[in-house]
């Protein structure tokens, strides 16, 4: 066999090159360098050679083996590269492909209402502002003219958070604290709307949720009057609902506005649904926001976005919108 070394090497290299995939190459490897391979067996023949020839023959065998092993390695990486490309091709997902039966999703009705509201107010010259959902008691109550012990605090079933002094941190019960944050960070005139999530320990029913969304509005400028508030709400109602809907302002009380009103819209059955509160910003609130009430005045409003969505889409139980029942969601 040792005489045959060049032929043996040529045969081994040819079978290695011919291996088409990694499985075949593993078989070839056993055939050419495995225990029963001619090259391995040839080592046994060394003993039968005259001692002076053994060293050179052993060296020749080792060199052939090294070349064959190198060829195996090269072929293995070539095959791996080809197999990787093939695997990528077969496992490729076409993310742009739309199956006939697939339903394309769309925004939830509350998101649709939220975005439409931002559009309506942006069209009226308002900027969109934001505030944190975890709020300080001061921003949520004190700065809004609701000091500790004020009866209005009972009206908001507040969820407190264990952070800092007991009772100092809460999940905001309304978006009104964004009024304070806007006043403290911007110079008037201010024209903002602030949509966002709010939290109360309210029991869910057809018009109440414990986690819901409000959109706050705040205008601070020179010479702002109740007529500006009424005009803004009317322009908003026409633009959001269309002119077929009737709305009304009803006197009410909020500690942070004076005078205050509730904003209702009429349902098809003739009854009225409360959508939000509004009023002229109380001088104490302007002061808490670092604004001089002698120089500036303003109005504010806070509407329930979920209720606006109910009205717009004709949903009669607000809880339906949050059951994640696809049959409900697909209707809109």
DSSP for residue 204: P
The secondary structure of 126-160 as a DSSP string is PEE----SEEEHHHHTGGGT--TT-THHHHS--EE
Which residues in 206-245 contact ligand FA5 (CB under 6 A)?
208-209, 212, 214
Give the nearer residue to ligand FA5 in terms of CB position, either 192 or 300.
300
What's the closest the beta carbon of residue 254 comes to ligand FA5, in angstroms? 4
- Should residue 275 be labelled a site residue for ligand FA5 when binding is judged by CB under 6 A? yes
Taking each helix axis from N to C end, the angle separating 109-123 and 305-313, rounded to the nearest 10 degrees, works out to: 100
DSSP for residue 162: S
Angle at 142 between CA 140 and CA 147, to 5 degrees: 125
What's the closest the beta carbon of residue 80 comes to ligand FA5, in angstroms? 60
Ranges of beta strands (E only) in 3-81 are none
- Should residue 296 be labelled a site residue for ligand FA5 when binding is judged by CB under 6 A? no
Q: Quick one: which segment of 28-36, 118-126, 300-308, 322-330 binds ligand FA5 (CB under 6 A)? A: 300-308
Give the nearer residue to ligand FA5 in terms of CB position, either 39 or 178.
178
Give the nearer residue to ligand FA5 in terms of CB position, either 16 or 309.
309
Q: Do the beta carbons of residue 200 and residue 183 sit within 8 Å? A: no
- Should residue 312 be labelled a site residue for ligand FA5 when binding is judged by CB under 6 A? no
* Residue from 304, 310, 311, 321 binding ligand FA5 (CB under 6 A): 304
Residues 6 or more apart in contact with residue 36 via CB below 8 angstroms: 30
Give the nearer residue to ligand FA5 in terms of CB position, either 61 or 209.
209
Residues 6 or more apart in contact with residue 274 via CB below 8 angstroms: 262, 263, 264, 307
* Residue from 25, 301, 309, 321 binding ligand FA5 (CB under 6 A): 301
The site for ligand FA5 (CB under 6 A) is made up of 174, 176, 200, 202, 208-209, 212, 214, 254, 257, 260, 274-279, 300-304, 306-307
């Amino acid at each position: 066999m040792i005489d045959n070394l060049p032929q043996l090497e040529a045969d081994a290299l040819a079978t290695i090159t011919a291996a088409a995939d990694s499985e075949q190459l593993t078989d070839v490897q056993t055939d050419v360098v495995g225990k029963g391979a001619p090259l391995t067996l040839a080592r046994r023949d060394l003993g039968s050679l005259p001692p002076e020839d053994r060293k050179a023959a052993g060296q020749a065998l080792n060199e052939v083996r090294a070349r064959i092993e190198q060829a195996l390695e090269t072929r293995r990486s070539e095959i791996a590269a080809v197999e990787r490309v093939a695997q990528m091709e077969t496992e490729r997902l076409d993310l742009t492909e739309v199956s006939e039966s697939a339903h394309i999703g769309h925004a939830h009705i509350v998101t649709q209402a939220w975005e439409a509201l931002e559009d309506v107010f942006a069209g009226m010259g308002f900027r969109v502002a934001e505030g944190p959902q975890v709020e300080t008691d001061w921003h949520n109550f004190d700065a809004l003219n609701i000091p500790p012990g004020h009866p209005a605090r009972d009206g908001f079933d507040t969820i407190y958070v264990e952070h800092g002094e007991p009772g100092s941190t809460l999940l905001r019960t309304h978006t009104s604290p964004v009024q304070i944050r806007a006043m403290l960070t911007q110079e008037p005139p201010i024209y903002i709307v602030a949509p966002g999530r709010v939290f109360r320990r309210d029991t869910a029913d057809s018009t109440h949720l414990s986690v819901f969304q409000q959109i706050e509005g705040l205008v601070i400028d020179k010479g702002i009057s109740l007529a500006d508030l009424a005009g803004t709400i009317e322009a908003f109602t026409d633009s959001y609902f269309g002119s077929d809907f009737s709305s009304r302002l009803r006197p009410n009380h909020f500690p942070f506005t004076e005078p205050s009103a509730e904003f209702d819209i009429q349902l098809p059955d003739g009854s009225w649904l409360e959508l939000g509160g509004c009023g002229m910003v109380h001088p104490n609130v302007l002061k808490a926001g670092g604004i001089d009430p002698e120089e500036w005045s303003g109005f504010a409003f806070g509407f329930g976005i979920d209720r606006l969505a109910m009205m717009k889409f004709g949903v009669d139980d607000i809880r339906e919108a949050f059951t994640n029942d696809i049959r409900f969601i697909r209707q809109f």
